[in-house]
C-alpha cells in the first residue's frame, strides 16, 4: 500500500515558551494526517458518521528524536498498518528537510455512536486497509495497559471547557495530553523537552466534569500519569512521559 504524506508548518500558536512545537500540536498533526488518509481510502470521519460510526483514538505513542521549532516545515508520512482484534493500527514518520525528527504508532477503534461501543473494524473498513500487520511497527508499544497510578506525588485540578469537546461530543485526545503535561514539575518543564509520550485512553469524558491530573516520578527523567474524573474517580487515561535536556 502506498503511504500518505501531508505537510505542516509550525506556527507561533503551536509552540511553547521555548519556541518548541507543543506535543499536543504534534499529536494533532498526526491525527489530521490520519484523517486525511482515511478519507482518501473511503473511510473518513464524514463517511463513518453517515453510518452512525466514528473513529476514536485509543492509544498513541510518540517518540521525538530531535527538537522541532517555530518555522519548521514537517512532512508527516502515515499508513494503515493492520488490525489487532478491535483496533485498527496506524504508523507515522515525521521528517524535516528529509531527516527524521519523530515517529509514532497508534491504535484506533471504530465506535458505534449509539451504543458507544467499538465494532469490528474489518466489517466496515475499505478492503484496501490491510488486515495483517504490514512490516515491523515503527514504534514498539509495551504490551497490555500502561501502569496504573496507585499513589501519586502531585495532583492538579481542571474543568473541561467547550474548547475541549470534539465532533464526537467528548473530550478530544489532545486535551488529555495537555492535562498530563500541565502537572509536570516546573524545573522539568524549564530544563527539559518531551522525548517520548505514550497515552492510553480508557473512558470518555464530557463537558462539565472536573478533572484530576496526577503523576508520580518513575525515573529521574520519566513520569507515570493518570487522568481521573473527580466526581466518580473514574480513570480516563494513563500516560507515560520521558524527558531529555533542552
114-137 pLDDT, tens digit each: 999 999 988 888 787 778 877 778
State the pTM of this model: 0.93
pLDDT score recorded for residue 129: 79
State the pLDDT at residue 124.
83
CB 76 within 8 A of CB 97: no
Percent of the chain with pLDDT over 70: 100
CATH code at 144-246: 3.10.129.10
Domain ranges of the chain: 1-136, 144-246
Average pLDDT over residues 200-212: 94
Q: Which three cell numbers stand for residue 26?
A: 504534534
User: What's the longest Cα–Cα distance across the chain?
Assistant: 49
Q: For residue 1, what pLDDT band results from cuts at 50, 70 and 90?
A: low
Q: Which of 36, 108, 42 is nearest to 78 (CA)?
A: 36
Query: Residue 168 pLDDT > 90, yes or no?
Result: no
**Nearest 5 degrees, angle CA 241-CA 155-CA 21?**
40
Alpha carbons within 13 angstroms on the beta-carbon side of residue 216 total 9
- The CATH H-level (homologous superfamily) assignment of domain 1-136 is Hotdog Thioesterase (3.10.129.10)
Same fold, 1-136 and 144-246: yes
**Which position has the grid cell 473511510?**
43
pLDDT of residue 2 exceeding 90, the answer is no
Amino acid at each position: 500500500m502506498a503511504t500518505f504524506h501531508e505537510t505542516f508548518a509550525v506556527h507561533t500558536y503551536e509552540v511553547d515558551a521555548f519556541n518548541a512545537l507543543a506535543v499536543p500540536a504534534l499529536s494533532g498533526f498526526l491525527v489530521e494526517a490520519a484523517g486525511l488518509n482515511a478519507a482518501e481510502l473511503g473511510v473518513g470521519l464524514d463517511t463513518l458518521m453517515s453510518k452512525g460510526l466514528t473513529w476514536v483514538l485509543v492509544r498513541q505513542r510518540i517518540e521525538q528524536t530531535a527538537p522541532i521549532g517555530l518555522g519548521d516545515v514537517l512532512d508527516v508520512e502515515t499508513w494503515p498498518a493492520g488490525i489487532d482484534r478491535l483496533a485498527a493500527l496506524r504508523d507515522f514518520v515525521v521528517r524535516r528537510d528529509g531527516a527524521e525528527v519523530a515517529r509514532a504508532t497508534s491504535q484506533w477503534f471504530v465506535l458505534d455512536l449509539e451504543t458507544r461501543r467499538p465494532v469490528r473494524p474489518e466489517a466496515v473498513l475499505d478492503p484496501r486497509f490491510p488486515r495483517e500487520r504490514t512490516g515491523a511497527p515503527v514504534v514498539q508499544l509495551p504490551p497490555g495497559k500502561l501502569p496504573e497510578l496507585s499513589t501519586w506525588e502531585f495532583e492538579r485540578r481542571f474543568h473541561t471547557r467547550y474548547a475541549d469537546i470534539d465532533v464526537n461530543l467528548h473530550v478530544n485526545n489532545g486535551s488529555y495530553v495537555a492535562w498530563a503535561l500541565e502537572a509536570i514539575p516546573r524545573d522539568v518543564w524549564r530544563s527539559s523537552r518531551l522525548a517520548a509520550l505514550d497515552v492510553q485512553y480508557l473512558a470518555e469524558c464530557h463537558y462539565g466534569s472536573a478533572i484530576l491530573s496526577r503523576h508520580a516520578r518513575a525515573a529521574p527523567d520519566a513520569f507515570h500519569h493518570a487522568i481521573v474524573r473527580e466526581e466518580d474517580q473514574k480513570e480516563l487515561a494513563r500516560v507515560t512521559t520521558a524527558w531529555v535536556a533542552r
